Each structure stands twice: as C-alpha cells, then as structure tokens.
Amino acid sequence: MNTYMAKPAEVVRKWYIVDATNVPLGRLASQVASILKGKNKPTYTPNVDTGDYVIVINTDKVILTGKKKEQKYYRHYTGYIGGMKEVRYDKLLEQKSDFAVQKAVKGMLPKNSIGRQMIKKLFIYKDSTHPHSAQKPEVFNLY
C-alpha cells in the first residue's frame, strides 16, 4: 500500500469559526495554526497547503496568563538609527488585539511560501460580526 500524498487540486477546504472569548493567546494561536496547516485532516501533506479557512472573532476578549500583560513586549525595528519600538502587551491587546492574534498565529506557521499562502486564509475580527456568513462556517471548539 502506498502512502497517500495530497495534490493541490484535490484539496477540499472548509470554513471554521473560532471564538476567542477568554482563551489564552498562545493556545488559540497554536490550534488556529494547526487548522491552517491542515493537521486536523487525515490527508495532511507537509509540502501541500491542505489547510482550511479560519475566522477568529472576539479578539478583544483574548487573555494572557500570568504576568505576561506587564512583562511581555512586542518589539519591532523601523530601519532607522535608534528605531527600536516596543509596546507592552496590555496596551497592544487594548488597541490592536487583532494584530496581536495575527502575529501569534503567523509565528507558528512555516517560514516559506506555503506559510505565506496559509496566513491568507486567516480572517480576524475584534467583535462577533463578520462578513463571511455566506460561506457557512462551522463552529470549531477549542480544547
């Protein structure tokens, strides 16, 4: 018996909706990244994007455990001399919670062309309203 290898034309994609209310950021990101990769399917193939579409709602209600809100920083470099910018995660979650979730998920995806393809299937919204009701997304319960 030969090992099944998925082909890009054969992949059937579903739409999932994930509620981020009172879910730790890291747990949310790891499970969403797993769906985007396609690891929840029996047809998972590492070199083919077999993942599904994911809609994450209520990112304003995501939580951080422990003292991460005060001690964890988001840092980026602007490219200029002395251009290191840093923002504490409590302020980042207040102002741009959707950005924080996207950065967490993107960090858990492969760093290559397949990873860039996977992150395009992620849709993030701060509240519970989203324009994807025509796709009939299934509710995905996080464990």
Q: Running along the chain, 143 residues long, what does each successive block of 10 average in pLDDT?
A: 90 96 96 96 93 96 94 96 96 95 97 96 96 96 85
Looking up residue 43, the CATH number of its domain turns out to be 3.90.1180.10
Q: Is residue 91 part of a domain?
A: no
With CA atoms as reference, report the closest residue to 59 among 31, 99, 105. Answer: 99
pTM to 2 decimals? 0.92
The whole-number pLDDT of residue 115 equals 96
Domain range for 134: 13-63+96-139
Percent of the chain as helix, strand, coil, to the nearest 5: 35, 20, 45
Contact call for residues 6 and 128 (beta carbons, < 8 A)? no
- Tokens 């840093």 belong to residue: 86
Q: Domain total for the chain? A: 1
Question: Residue 125, SS3?
Answer: coil
